[in-house]
């Protein structure tokens, strides 16, 4: 089929309720902020907004780190920037792997040329701290890398005490908090994490395309040993670090930190509209209050879980370590999971998520986060799922899901 570009109309997407593992619907305030006029990248108003973003994200990351900023790109851009800037080829990295995104860390590290060790748990579980401690002692890593909340399994890895283990062994700790930033307690300083990265498109209720991150002084010092200022912007007397040059120009955190510092040493043209979005995401979160926001996400997660169980469905994974914002649920025997997802979209304009790897075709993933972690959106989703399951011939108690969810929300 040949498409005539002259016939393409203005973009007018359906008004779907995105109740999967992300992205979610962006907060209207964030969308409005993105429509503001562009500024030059060295305009004092623009650099002022950059400084504001740094201040706004420190409490969200639970840190006093100076180097708290944005990477232009999706959450994966920040992951790659962190790893390529921390890790040189041949250096050992211990990956805490309990799902798809732990495997992503090994994928990126493999391309960097790192020596990869791993400590693992089955999908649906997390890795015990004593197992990580034993792996650190066995492998003597330069960096320990972990996911906080892995949406592929809906599990959240406990991180208290991990930084102490890493630092005692002379290692730095990297944490990917893409799926939990703004929805669960992120405590970079308490955890002893050296770099934590996130994204906007989940609990922060923004669009994908900008990735907040925070960097400890120890990690910054290490990264600056690898500083190599590109030829076109070098000033007279510039001195490079003595370590190996970072293997990416775009994701070179040493140069990006120089751009976000008082030097304003040009590295790239800041994605202005995404910076506006990031700024407003943080303002919304802090305006609500972080503790209240975390409680809202926890209430939404309880409600989803209670509603699913009231339908007679089996929730996936270990209840002790469940993410508050994404819930996995087994697809009932004899039910076509993709047909139910299609019916949810076609009849109710609601999207729920499928799954990856060993869970593909076995579970759905239902998210309630950011602007969508609201009581009425959870109830609408559960009611729609009940109707779609009935249409597939699955027998379940009428209305029980909504009643159970209401009770759980208030618990």
Instruction: Give residue-wise pLDDT tens across range 102-128.
Output: 999 999 999 999 999 999 999 999 999
- Is the distance from CB of 297 to CB of 324 less than 8 angstroms? yes
For 79, left (φ over 0), alpha (ψ -120 to 50), or beta?
alpha
Peptide bond before 23: cis, by omega within 30 degrees of 0?
Answer: yes
| CATH architecture, domain 28-285 | 3-Layer(aba) Sandwich (3.40)
- Burial category of 243 from C-beta neighbours within 10 Å (exposed 0-12, middle 13-18, buried 19 and up): middle
Say whether pLDDT at 323 is over 80. Answer: yes
Fold match flag (28-285 vs 290-410) = no
pLDDT at 237: 81
Measured distance between the N- and C-terminal CA atoms of the chain, rounded to whole angstroms: 54
16 is in an annotated binding site: no
Query: In the chain, count of helices (H) and strands (E)?
Result: 14, 13
Q: What CATH number is given for 290-410 in this structure?
A: 3.90.1150.10
Banded pLDDT at 3 (limits 50, 70, 90):
confident
Q: DSSP letter string over 109-156?
A: HHHHT-EEEEEE--BTB---HHHHHHHHHHH--SEEEEESEETTTTEE
Rounded to an integer, the average pLDDT of 373-384 is: 98
pLDDT tens sequence across 253-274: 999 999 999 989 888 999 999 9
Banded pLDDT at 1 (limits 50, 70, 90):
low
Phi, psi of 211 (to 5 degrees): -130, 105
> 198: Cβ–Cβ under 8 A, 6 or more apart, which residues?
61, 75, 78, 177, 178, 180, 181, 182, 186, 204, 211, 212, 213
Domain ranges of the chain: 28-285, 290-410
pLDDT at 252: 97
Which of 280, 214, 191 is CA-nearest to residue 59? 214
């Amino acid at each position: 089929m040949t498409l005539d570009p002259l016939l393409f109309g203005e973009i007018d997407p359906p008004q779907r309720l995105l109740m999967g593992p992300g992205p979610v619907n962006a907060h209207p305030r964030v969308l409005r902020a993105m429509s503001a006029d562009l500024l030059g990248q060295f305009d004092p108003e623009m650099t002022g907004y950059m400084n504001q973003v740094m201040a706004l994200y420190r409490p969200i990351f639970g840190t006093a780190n100076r180097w708290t900023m944005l990477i232009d790109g999706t959450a994966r851009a920040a992951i790659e920037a962190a790893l390529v800037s921390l890790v040189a080829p041949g250096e050992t990295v211990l990956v805490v792997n309990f799902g798809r995104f732990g495997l992503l860390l090994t994928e990126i590290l493999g391309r960097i040329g790192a020596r990869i060790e791993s400590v693992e748990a089955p999908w649906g579980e997390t890795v015990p701290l004593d197992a990580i401690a034993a792996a650190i002692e066995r492998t003597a890593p330069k960096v320990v890398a972990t996911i906080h909340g892995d949406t592929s399994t809906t599990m959240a890895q406990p991180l208290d005490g991990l930084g102490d283990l890493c630092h005692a062994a002379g290692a730095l700790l990297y944490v990917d908090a893409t799926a939990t930033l703004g929805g669960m307690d992120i405590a970079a300083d308490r955890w002893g994490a050296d770099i934590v990265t996130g994204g906007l498109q989940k609990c922060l209720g923004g669009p994908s395309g900008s990735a907040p991150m925070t960097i400890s002084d120890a990690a910054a010092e290490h990264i600056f040993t690898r500083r190599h200022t590109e030829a076109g912007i070098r000033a007279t007397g510039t001195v490079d670090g003595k370590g190996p040059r970072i293997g990416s120009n775009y994701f070179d955190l040493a140069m990006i930190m120089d751009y976000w510092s008082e030097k304003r040493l040009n590295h790239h043209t800041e994605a202005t509209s995404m910076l506006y979005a990031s700024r407003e995401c943080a303002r919304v979160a802090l305006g609500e209050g972080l503790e209240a926001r975390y409680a809202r996400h926890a209430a939404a997660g309880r409600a989803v879980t209670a509603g699913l169980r009231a339908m007679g469905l089996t929730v996936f994974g270990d209840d002790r370590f469940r993410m508050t914002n994404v819930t996995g649920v087994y697809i009932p025997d004899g039910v076509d999971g993709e047909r139910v997802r299609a019916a949810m979209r076609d009849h109710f304009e609601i999207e729920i998520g499928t799954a990856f790897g060993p869970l593909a075709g076995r579970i759905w993933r239902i998210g309630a986060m950011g602007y969508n972690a609201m009581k009425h959106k959870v109830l609408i989703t559960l009611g729609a799922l009940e109707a779609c399951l009935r249409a597939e011939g699955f027998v379940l108690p009428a209305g029980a899901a909504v009643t159970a969810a209401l009770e759980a929300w208030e618990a």
